[in-house]
Structure 1
Amino acid sequence: MSSSENDEISSKRNNNSDLNRLEKQSVNSSDEIHKEIYKKLKWYENPVLQTSNSNQAKTTTYSSFYSSLYTGLLIVAFLPIILIAFVLFLLLWILPGLGWFYERYAEARDRKKYYPPIDEMKPWGPDNKLIHVVHLRAPESKLPPIVYVSGMGLSMYFVKPLLLKFVEYMDEPVEIISFDPLGYGASEPPNDWNTENAESQRLLLRQVIAKSTLRKPFILFGASAGGLLAHLYCLTYPEDVAGIILTDPTPSTIFEQGSPIGKVLNRACIQCGIMARAASWGLLRPLSFLLHHFSTGDVGDIFRYSHPGYIALLMTHTMLQKLASQLRYLHTIPDCISKQLHDDATSHRNIPLLVLSALNWTKKRPYGGFTREEMSQWWSESHQFFVRNSDNAGFIPRTDYTHMQCIVDMELVANATKAVLTQIHSEIVH
């Protein structure tokens, strides 16, 4: 390479270094200019114009205080609403749900605990449902057998001890049978409560009599509301019945206009439906205990003399549904009786019939605004319906007995049976 070329390259390098130096100086001078401008624009940072640290702290404190106060007021305003909503949630969802499960557990437990002897549970109900049948056999008996139709709300837990007393008072062997319809006591409930009516109850009674191979004719007992069903059976199958005894029966005129009890029974039907719903949530479990220890009058008599199983299963969902169902179809039994009397008014008239009427009403105003005397008179006159439909009828008014006392006095019932036996043909009494 020639010297001239070297000089040219060296000259270019010097020029480049000069340019770089000038650029750096230009940048430095530009930064200094910006710094000067920035300093001139910082006039608003004058301490006189700025908020002091103490005032800033006070503002923050006030803001925090008002925010907390607002939050507190909101909590105070909405807390009662939240609590009410929570309580309603417990009452309407959680507790009923727990009560629903507990009620089913408790009813199953009590049914198992107080389950009758296995030979008393018979598949004689519709769809082979198990029903509780008490059959006190007496092969050596020379008397006609007895079929006992119990009253409303009285299961075999209550009736069986009465039947055992009755046998003792009879002074000689006698065969007797009784049963709980579907839903009562240990008997299984029906698949559909709406299928229950007067006809289904009459057919169930006939089914039990047929399955038990009971000797016919027999003496038919009807206690309280069971008296209507017993009377209907007697009118329908007079050839099966040797005699009939009605222990303070529910009058067939009970739902007619002017009856002091019709409205009471209608209200009771509605109340039983409501109580059944409450019982399904386990709310009526304590009620049995209270009734057992604090109830008076006829209700108190029921609980004081009852089997523990009767008390345990009385206030259950199943039993109360049965009571509501029974009160509904009770309306139809008098109509069935009237129809049967219209179709055949003679074949039953020679059957001995005895009515025991309890006329001691303890309340000053028992029902429908009637006084005691008016109620006793109406009750006695209503029982005459049974008497008028027989040519061989007896009527025993007991002014010293309440309804429940008349039903549980087995000595009185045994004496009534002995009286009816005197009217039965000697061929039937072996």
Structure 2
Amino acid sequence: MKILQWTKKIAFVLFVILILLLITGFVFEKVSRSKAERIPPDGKLVDIDGHKMHYLQKGSGGPTVVFETGFDPAGHLQWYHIQQDLSKSYTTFSYDRSGLLWSERGEQPKTGEKMAEELHRLLEKTNTPKPYILVGHSFGGTLIRFFVKKYPEDIAGIVLVDSQYPDDKKYLSPELYEIVNQGLPAGFLKFANTFGAARLMFRNMFPPGTDYQYQNSIMPALLYKSADAVLEEQDQMSAVKRNAALINSFGNIPLSVLTAADTGRYDGFIKDPNLKNEMLEAWDKMQKDLLLLSSDSKQILVPNSGHYMNQDQPKVIEDAINEMYERTINKK
């Protein structure tokens, strides 16, 4: 009987502690959001279809290097350092898709076509010099296809940075396909975002140290804004990939495919050695298939790099963009 009474008391105490933690987390999140609202954007805001979108444009001269971020709550911050370096030679342009960081969500659906249209309107409204060298990482490489299909005359060249392959089901076993496409735990992330845990979980998304101090402060501070948009993009991912797979030609637009070549890059993601080897082989095939998008394409294998090449080997990306610029000049 006493054991039962003590069990009830302990359960009650644990319940009270849990409630207090949730209240504390909720208040912490409210205070953090209030502070975050006062953080000035590092770029500019412009009205697109009734909502404000954030972009960062640096440098001058052409063509303009336009960066498209992957499936990522950090938005334009993934290109921040690379953009600073390249702006010494070109106009550079990064932005936050609707709902990410400083960009308001708006009402347009998260389809590949609409996201491409929003980017095009943003470039047009900001008088960004044409033509564009499009640079897309991961999911951003998939989104680029929609822009190329609709506005090919505006594009001078394309650089895909360890790009997602939209028809990955063709190369992956059912088991591996499920692992690769399982996505973020939406319910848990929404809960964590409400009670202050999400900003703590994502506070070191970028490498530690002073070089990434700015990104590591801004991204978690504004995560409460980005989280819903990221989850919405996740919900639309299958449809976006399915439609992107139908866009299978860039014509003769110069294309560079940068592929991460560190064989240990899946060690923390896939534990089964057989599945890991399958993933390495499948990714190699998918990256080679990307070369078929253009009659003027080349692949660059990047050793010592995982999927986030913009953090692991930013100099390689910068070199590829510089080389693409030379290819576009010689093509004229």
Q: Normalised by the size of structure 2, how large is the TM-score?
A: 0.83
Q: Is the 8 A contact 1:132 1:156 kept in 2?
A: no
Q: Decide which of 237, 242, 246 is 1:330's aligned counterpart.
A: 237
RMSD of aligned Cα (Å):
3.2
Select 1:163's aligned residue among 78, 83, 103.
83
**AA at the equivalent of 2:67:** Y
SS of match in other structure, 2:94: strand
The whole-number CA distance in structure 2 between the counterparts of 1:110 and 1:226 is: 26
In the alignment, structure 1 residue 361 sits paired with structure 2 residue 263? yes
Asked if residue 258 in structure 1 is aligned to residue 173 in structure 2, the reply is: yes
Q: How does 1:181-192 map to 2 (within 5 A)?
A: 181-188=97-104, 190=105
Change (3 A) 1:77 1:214: closer
Whether the 8 Å CA contact 1:216–1:240 is kept in 2: the answer is: yes
Which structure carries more strand by proportion? 2
Query: Equivalent residue of 1:301, what SS?
Result: coil
CA offset digits 1:404-423 (Å, max 9, x no partner): 24555333223212322333
State whether structure 2 residue 107 is matched by structure 1 residue 205: no
In structure 2, the residue corresponding to 1:186 is in which secondary structure? coil
- Tell whether the 8 Å contact from 1:137 to 1:176 is kept in structure 2 after alignment: yes
Q: 1:313 aligns with which of 210, 219, 224?
A: 219
**In the TM superposition, what is the alpha-carbon distance from 1:111 to its structure 2 partner?**
4.0
Inter-partner Cα distance in structure 1 for 2:106 and 2:12: 38
Seen in structure 2, the aligned counterparts of structure 1 residues 408 and 134 have a Cα distance that, compared at 3 Å, is: farther
Relative to total residues, which structure has the larger helix share, 1 or 2? 1
Question: Any residues of structure 2 matched to 1:169-180 within 5 Å, and which?
Answer: 173-180=89-96
Q: Distance in 2 between matches of 1:90 and 1:191?
A: 39
TM-score if structure 1 supplies the norm length?
0.66
Query: Does the aligned pair in 1 maintain the 2:82–2:310 contact within 8 Å?
Result: no
Q: Residue 144 in 1 paired to residue 63 in 2?
A: yes
Match of 1:394 in 2: 298
Which ranges of structure 1 fall in alignment gaps of 5 or more residues? Answer: 1-72, 293-298
- Structure number with larger C-alpha Rg: 1
Contiguous gaps of at least 5 residues in structure 2 = none
- With over 3 angstroms needed to count, the CA separation of the structure-2 counterparts of 1:313 and 1:300, relative to structure 1, is closer
Report if aligned partners of 1:276, 1:317 keep a CA contact under 8 Å in 2: no
Does structure 2 conserve the Cα–Cα contact (< 8 Å) formed by 1:355 and 1:387? yes
In 2, Cα distance between equivalents of 1:227 and 1:268: 18
Matches within 5 A, 1:94-113: 95-112=21-38
Structure 2 residue aligned with 1:132, among 43, 54, 67? 54
Per-residue CA distance 1:266-306 (angstroms, 9 max, x = gap): 4333x2441231221113344345xx3xxxxxx66378752
Letter aligned with residue 127 of structure 2: T
Q: Which of 145, 149, 152 in structure 2 is aligned with 1:238?
A: 152
Residues 68-122 of structure 1, C-alpha deviation per residue, up to 9 Å, x if partnerless?
xxxxx89x86464255235425525x5434422331220231342x4224xx231
Secondary structure of the 2:192 match is helix
Amino-acid identity (%): 17
Aligned to 2:134, which of 220, 236, 257? 220
The amino acid that maps onto 2:241 is: P
Higher relative contact order (CA 8 A, sep 6+): 2
Would the alpha carbon gap of residues 215 and 314 (structure 1) be closer, same or farther in structure 2, given more than 3 Å must change? same
Q: 2: CA distance between counterparts of 1:306 and 1:282?
A: 22
Shift of the alpha carbon at 1:311? 4.0
- Structure 2 CA distance for partners of 1:185 and 1:306, relative to 1, 3 Å: farther
- Secondary structure in 1 aligned to 2:207? helix
SS in 2 for 1:178: strand
